[in-house]
Structure 1
Amino acid sequence: MGKRDRERGAGRVRRMLVGVLVLALLAGAGVAWQTGWAERWWDELRADAGTPDPAAVAPPSTVDIPPVVVPAALAPAADGAAALDPAAVRQALAPLDSPDLGRHVIAAVGPLEGTGLTYEAAEGAGVAIPASTTKVVTAAAALFLLGPERTFATTTVLDTSGTTPRLVLVGGGDPLLARSPGRPAGGATYDPARADVRTLAKRTARALRRSGVTTVELGFDDGLFSGPSVHPSWKPEYIPDEVNPVSALWVDEGRALPGRGAVADPALEAATAFAQALARRGVTVTGGPTRGAAPAGGTEVGRVTSPTVAQIVQRLIEVSDNAAAEVLLRHAGIADQGDGSFAGGQRAVERALVANGIDLRGSVLYDGSGLSRDNRLAPGVLVDVLRLAASADHPQLRPLLTALPVAGYTGSLTDRMDLGPAAGRGRVRAKTGTLTGVTTLAGIAVDAHGHLMAFALMADRVKKVKGLPARVAMDNAAAGLGACLC
């Protein structure tokens, strides 16, 4: 998305049942979500599982302990299979009739479990430019094809066959590889611990010293991905404001250090940063880094590993991370097509959807982030993808649902849905999408009856001067689903 259209982004990946997920939607849990306390508390409980539960320890025989009375449920159990009232859904979505949204507004709503749609509206073509709601599809395909626990390693390989030992830095497609340890500053409620080239240099230098190697030539291998690094349909101004040339080897998503301008070659930038870190560890690097494939007979001497796919998905959905989405698209292409390009990733996503019984309805996607204005997506596809992620048959997709920002509290919805029905805040989780003339939302909501629904709302002919009012109108419609008696 262009700089003026950038989505504002501010948690943790937890594999939880949909029922637990729904509790996080309730407005009463909003503050806990906003502060991150609830998520830290959950993770601390899991991490401390080996500690004896005080409730399981028998009291002294001299103590008379009354029986524990379990309080009544605070809210009715959420029901994802309950039929929705079409008239009530239509009334909740009345804000979609706003002229601010332009002449092409399409939408789909249905129960989170099951098939079919309670509400479907399409004026003209039944597909629209999805913008960043594309990331919902990309993330689901990556989780399906790669698995939530998959990680990506950045390694160093040593070849001692020449006069001077040659060390090669090999990119494994870690989208979050950093220059140095630590989490980046920012507003995200969750940022996983990242691998970094400084740590890799430390491990590599230690291994080289053990082998008696103090001087090396340095190469770098970024050949895991193929095809163009920039999609031809992206606007030129998107580089580097919204994304950098996609690479299997980069640091800080291809961004330069402050004051150094754009990075023309992300892999070379990563290799240069690694060489500097290696030199600080006492290893002499002769000449500059050169691009080339790692030797087949080389010995691995260092390795750092990325966060899991589930953790990467958590971050990319919450803050709408274009770079991470494009890297995951290419990994999906390698896993399914043996082709780590835009085209290979697109074919992999399409096959993953069709293999799971999702009708594409004329949809076509060209990238993983949604920056391409050539993308077209039917709202019913987004609803079906969200249903797939909620299905008991696909627990590996659950991180997609837990990553969705909470309306009014987290991620790209932190400061949204504050002008519509108050009950919508905390009861809606959704991925936003924004480009010039385009505003979209796709996610899940729990209404006042506890009925769970999936929805997708799309408008792609918004006048430029109506961008903000259009977004408010769409937010009000989504909030209406959370507030309605559907």
Structure 2
Amino acid sequence: MGGVGLGRRIGDTLRLPTRPGRVVLVVLVVLALAAAGGGAVALQAPNVLSDLGLRAAAVPEKTLDVPAPDLVALPAAAPTPSSAGLGSVLDPLAGSTALGEFSGIVVDPAAPRGAAPLWQQSPARPLVPGSTGKLLTAAATLLTLDPTDRLATRAVAGAEPGQVVLVGGGDPTLTALPEGRTGTYPDPARLDELVAEVKQALPGQAITSVVVDTSAWTGPELAEGWDSADVAGGFVAPMTPLMLDGGRRDTGVQDTPRVADPARAAGQAFADKLGAARVTEGTAPPNAKELGRVVSAPVSILVEHLMTTSDNVLAESLARTVALNRQADPSFTGSAEAVLAALAQSGFDVSGARMVDGSGLSTADAVPATLLASVLQSAAAPSGPDQGPEFLRPIVTGLPVAGGDGTLDDRFGTGAAAAGRGVVRAKTGTLTGVSSLAGVVTDVDGRLLVFALMSNGQSPATVRPRLDTIAATLSRCGCR
């Protein structure tokens, strides 16, 4: 019933012949809409009756109290902590030998990029970042792609009758779960939808075989510095541009063992749903007819999810997408170079940074805390007509909340670190001998601060509580 509004439907279907009947119907519709609109509208209903001639006099309207918002903007004039004040409380904590090789920095996101840090300790020293390296991939993604862009998986006609080619486009969120069920990814593309589109495009035609096309990416499936045990351990999958639910065996668990051949598994699931008996590997014919396509959630949503869950597979997929958009080689090497190039082109100083992957899972990665802080500073900076755009804001909105969700849900629970619960939002990074924490925190004066803390050489069991304590101390300190 395109273009037909509520009033037209009432007139066409009920056809009330008398004026009184029409008035009663209008009143009922008005009252129904008022009730749906909330208390403020409903309180005006007696005067609606008066206006329609159904009540002799208007009833005085009740004056409503103005609600006081629980969440308010931070005060723009909140005082900035001094370097001396921060040093007096952070230096003793950061000077502990238990932190091993340490680098840290605190900056004001409202200050111009390049302004002097509020506090620092060896901030230019490149250290292995762990998953805080995902901040670089997330920023490059948002700077390279449109936030509404989506990753696509396509089905095209094969070279033979009855053959369909499943073309991977780098979307790890594709799922074989039925509508109404979702695994770990938000609003995933659905294999069932792609199957339905293929059947609609080939009515009555028997589909005999499926070809799996993973030619969108190049190079090895595991990066330098990765441990192959991480696949069985559930932290990453062999990287191919076609997989279901990030290659997970258990689609509802974030870190669960992954399948050894994600593309083959996806092709087999597709073939089973189409009734095809054979699955092979190959490439789509040139200019093949597209039979269907399904897409992921928007890039901005994927970045938020990446920040919250620290999903390694999603990070690698986004890095490859950056490489393809920058016409670079979509391999581990090419995508890592493309990420840093995108940041450099946007004015970030990437001196000293070396990435060999997009997730920070590699022990061969090295990043200075200054770069992590600079990315977060831009993401958290004030925005508006005179202050700049919000290109990087999904990085901040996706950061886990201390003691609340994501990779911080079980941290900041005891001792001095407990003061940071609900106040600190940060990206974590943990590998053997590697601990990092980079995010934002609001101090007692209402000033938003950005911090990046990195440690190499000591056990995370020892270091992580100390990093949490430093971040929590920032939340308690006006430090002027």
TM-score, normalising length: structure 1 = 0.79
Q: What is residue 203 of structure 1 aligned with on the other side? A: 197
The CA distance in 2 between the partners of 1:440 and 1:350, in whole Å, is 20
Query: Residues 144-169 of structure 1, C-alpha deviation per residue, up to 9 Å, x if partnerless?
Result: 1112211011111124x64x332111
Q: Is the 8 A contact 2:215 2:283 kept in 1?
A: yes
Residue type at the aligned position of 1:179? A
Of the three residues 282, 290, 297, the one matched with 1:292 is 282
For the residue of structure 2 that corresponds to 1:333, the secondary structure is helix
Mapped pair 1:394 → 2:389: yes
Q: Is the 8 A contact 1:106 1:457 kept in 2?
A: yes
The CA distance in 2 between the partners of 1:347 and 1:158, in whole Å, is 34
The change in CA–CA distance for 1:147 and 1:56 in structure 2 (over 3 A counts) is farther
- CA positional deviation for 1:469: 2.5
Q: What is residue 98 of structure 2 aligned with on the other side? A: 100
Q: What is residue 144 of structure 1 aligned with on the other side? A: 143
Residue type at the aligned position of 1:89? L
Q: What is residue 482 of structure 1 aligned with on the other side? A: 475
Query: Residues 239-264 of structure 1, C-alpha deviation per residue, up to 9 Å, x if partnerless?
Result: 33221111111112123469x98633
Mapped pair 1:333 → 2:323: yes
Q: What is residue 309 of structure 1 aligned with on the other side? A: 299
For the residue of structure 2 that corresponds to 1:215, the secondary structure is coil
The CA distance in 1 between the partners of 2:356 and 2:189, in whole Å, is 29
The CA distance in 2 between the partners of 1:451 and 1:458, in whole Å, is 23
The change in CA–CA distance for 1:80 and 1:170 in structure 2 (over 3 A counts) is farther
Mapped pair 1:272 → 2:265: no
The CA distance in 1 between the partners of 2:294 and 2:71, in whole Å, is 45
Q: What is residue 14 of structure 2 aligned with on the other side? A: none
Q: Is the 8 A contact 2:214 2:263 kept in 1?
A: yes
Q: What is residue 17 of structure 1 aligned with on the other side? A: none
Q: What is residue 135 of structure 1 aligned with on the other side? A: 134
The change in CA–CA distance for 1:171 and 1:387 in structure 2 (over 3 A counts) is same
- CA positional deviation for 1:71: 4.3
Of the three residues 59, 63, 73, the one matched with 1:62 is 59
Mapped pair 1:414 → 2:409: yes
- CA positional deviation for 1:57: 7.5
Which shifted more, 80-89 or 382-391? 80-89
Q: What is residue 26 of structure 2 aligned with on the other side? A: none
Identical aligned residues as a percent:
36
Q: Is the 8 A contact 2:224 2:364 kept in 1?
A: no
For the residue of structure 2 that corresponds to 1:442, the secondary structure is strand
The change in CA–CA distance for 1:183 and 1:144 in structure 2 (over 3 A counts) is farther
Aligned residues: 417
Q: What is residue 3 of structure 1 aligned with on the other side? A: none
For the residue of structure 1 that corresponds to 2:208, the secondary structure is strand
The change in CA–CA distance for 1:74 and 1:329 in structure 2 (over 3 A counts) is closer
- CA positional deviation for 1:82: 5.1
Q: What is residue 8 of structure 2 aligned with on the other side? A: none
The CA distance in 2 between the partners of 1:120 and 1:385, in whole Å, is 16
The CA distance in 1 between the partners of 2:475 and 2:261, in whole Å, is 46
- CA positional deviation for 1:448: 0.4
Q: Is the 8 A contact 1:139 1:400 kept in 2?
A: yes
Residue type at the aligned position of 2:103? I
Q: Is the 8 A contact 2:130 2:431 kept in 1?
A: yes
Q: Is the 8 A contact 1:154 1:170 kept in 2?
A: yes
Q: What is residue 15 of structure 1 aligned with on the other side? A: none
For the residue of structure 1 that corresponds to 2:202, the secondary structure is helix
Mapped pair 1:167 → 2:164: yes
Question: Relative contact order (alpha carbons < 8 A, sep ≥ 6): 1 or 2 greater?
Answer: 1
Q: What is residue 424 of structure 1 aligned with on the other side? A: 420
Query: Residues 322-366 of structure 1, C-alpha deviation per residue, up to 9 Å, x if partnerless?
Result: 110011111011111342111221222112221222112311111
Q: Is the 8 A contact 1:431 1:443 kept in 2?
A: yes
Residue type at the aligned position of 2:246? E
The change in CA–CA distance for 1:222 and 1:421 in structure 2 (over 3 A counts) is closer
The CA distance in 1 between the partners of 2:200 and 2:70, in whole Å, is 57
Note the residue ranges of structure 1 that are not aligned, 5 or more in a row: 1-47, 280-284
Q: What is residue 156 of structure 2 aligned with on the other side? A: 157
The CA distance in 2 between the partners of 1:132 and 1:153, in whole Å, is 26
Q: What is residue 240 of structure 2 aligned with on the other side? A: 247
Residue type at the aligned position of 2:171? D
Q: Is the 8 A contact 1:193 1:307 kept in 2?
A: yes
Note the residue ranges of structure 2 that are not aligned, 5 or more in a row: 1-32, 48-57
Q: Please, what is the CA RMSD of the aligned residues?
A: 2.6
The CA distance in 1 between the partners of 2:191 and 2:64, in whole Å, is 56
Which shifted more, 133-142 or 330-339? 330-339
Query: Residues 397-445 of structure 1, C-alpha deviation per residue, up to 9 Å, x if partnerless?
Result: 2111100001111111112112225432111100011011111000001
TM-score, normalising length: structure 2 = 0.80
- CA positional deviation for 1:199: 3.0
- CA positional deviation for 1:171: 1.0
Query: Residues 32-78 of structure 1, C-alpha deviation per residue, up to 9 Å, x if partnerless?
Result: xxxxxxxxxxxxxxxx9xx7576468822422322644649877734
Q: What is residue 224 of structure 2 aligned with on the other side? A: 232
Mapped pair 1:379 → 2:372: no
Q: Is the 8 A contact 2:337 2:355 kept in 1?
A: no
Mapped pair 1:470 → 2:460: no
Q: Is the 8 A contact 2:131 2:359 kept in 1?
A: yes
Q: Is the 8 A contact 1:109 1:454 kept in 2?
A: yes
The CA distance in 2 between the partners of 1:430 and 1:450, in whole Å, is 18
The CA distance in 1 between the partners of 2:68 and 2:250, in whole Å, is 55
Q: Is the 8 A contact 1:220 1:290 kept in 2?
A: yes
For the residue of structure 1 that corresponds to 2:74, the secondary structure is coil
- CA positional deviation for 1:98: 2.7
Mapped pair 1:121 → 2:121: yes
Residue type at the aligned position of 2:147? P
Residue type at the aligned position of 2:391? Q
- Greater Rg by CA: 2
The CA distance in 2 between the partners of 1:98 and 1:238, in whole Å, is 31
Q: Is the 8 A contact 2:43 2:62 kept in 1?
A: no
Q: What is residue 21 of structure 1 aligned with on the other side? A: none
The CA distance in 2 between the partners of 1:217 and 1:76, in whole Å, is 58
Q: Is the 8 A contact 1:337 1:347 kept in 2?
A: no
Q: Is the 8 A contact 1:183 1:193 kept in 2?
A: no
Q: What is residue 367 of structure 1 aligned with on the other side? A: 357
The change in CA–CA distance for 1:87 and 1:418 in structure 2 (over 3 A counts) is farther
